[in-house]
Amino acid sequence: MIVTKMKTLKKIAKMLGGQQGVFIVCCGGCPDGFKSGGLGKGLELAAALGEKGVKATGVAEIEFLCNKALAGIKLGRHAGEFRAAGAVLVLSCGVGVQAVASMTDLPALPAMNTISMGDRQGLWPGAERCRQCGSCMLDRTGGICPITACSKSLVNGTCGGTKNGNCEVDSRRPCGWLLIYKRLEALGRTKELLRMNTPRDHRKYDFPEAKRRSVLYALEFAEQEEAAAAEAKSKGAGK
């Protein structure tokens, strides 16, 4: 679930820059599930903007704006509201805003900030964190991730900033490397910490192109590939 947070009314008004009519599009996916957005929040925003003299030409909820094919069809039913507006205000993550922007010539403005998931991907709340760094070293650290558990993401052990077992950066947060040490000590495996860990390869943070094609953008690429294949086939048949 992608985590979003409404921008302040002041920021939104400033972004609108004197625009008198605005169509509000609310993503019914993550922002609704996360209770940070959704139709209710869109209606509240319309009322608040109304008090500032900005008229909402409409408020629509579209399930999962990131599903561009369906979102396009559903948004098409709101042509009148689009025409009457000078801008579209989108309550969604950055993906949804970009999806809407690709479908209209009106400025598509983000009403929300997309904030970090805090290294949590699972839908069930838990203490484990993963930053998808692409260079997993959990084998060397007793199954506790130093990239997410250490404020500095150090790979070769503790810094000098442990106070009462906690991190100098946040006194409520345990020192990650101390947790790792304690775990390995309990397992009688502290010697493993003497292994030299080389700096991480930051290219691995990027989602690989091949995977991107096969998983995330499958829908978008499938059509292109089918079209290209059909074209190649017809050319071959023409010869």
Tell me: does residue 177 bind other proteins (CB under 8 A).
Answer: yes
Asked if 69 and 217 touch (Cβ cutoff 8 Å), the reply is no
66 binds other proteins (CB under 8 A): no
Q: Is the dihedral of CA 56, 116, 28, 222 positive or negative?
A: positive
R_g of the chain, CA atoms, integer Å: 24
Site membership for other proteins, residue 157 (CB under 8 A):
yes
- Binding residues for other proteins, rule CB under 8 A, total 29
Please pick, from the candidates 74, 158, 174, 213, the single residue that binds other proteins as defined by CB under 8 A.
158
Nearer to other proteins, 126 or 160 (CB): 160
Q: Which of 69, 123, 127, 194: binder of other proteins (CB under 8 A)? A: 194
Q: Per CB under 8 A, does 13 bind other proteins?
A: no
3-state secondary structure of 7: coil
Please state the closest distance from residue 92 (CB atom) to other proteins, in A: 25
Convert 50-77 to b/e letters by CB count within 10 Å (16 or more is b): eeeebebbbbbbbebbbebeebeebbee
**Window of 54-62, 109-117, 124-132, 147-155 that interacts with other proteins by CB under 8 A:** 147-155
Q: Does 116 bind other proteins (CB under 8 A)?
A: no
Instruction: Report yes or no: 6 and 111 within 8 Å, Cβ to Cβ.
Output: yes
With CB under 8 A as the contact rule, which of the stretches 43-51, 89-97, 158-166, 226-234 interacts with other proteins?
A: 158-166
Beta pairing class for 166-167 and 112-115: unpaired
- Applying CB under 8 A, the span of 10-18, 80-88, 118-126, 150-158 interacting with other proteins comes to 150-158
Figure out which of the listed residues 162, 183, 213, 221 binds other proteins, where binding follows CB under 8 A: 162
At its nearest, how many Å lie between other proteins and the CB of residue 138? 18
Is residue 185 at the binding interface for other proteins, with CB under 8 A as the rule? yes
Residue 89 · residue 24 · CB < 8 Å: yes
CA atoms within 13 A on the CB side of 119: 17
CB-based contact 58:78 (threshold 8 Å): yes
> Of 18, 53, 188, 199, which one interacts with other proteins (CB under 8 A)?
199
> Applying CB under 8 A, does 159 fall inside the site for other proteins?
yes
Closest approach, Cβ 141 to other proteins, in A, equals 12
Spatial separation of the C-alpha atoms in residues 184 and 37, rounded to whole Å: 43
- The alpha carbon of 10 is separated from its chain's Cα centroid by a whole number of angstroms, namely 24
Residues that bind other proteins (CB under 8 A): 151-165, 168-169, 177-178, 181, 185, 190, 193-194, 196-199, 202
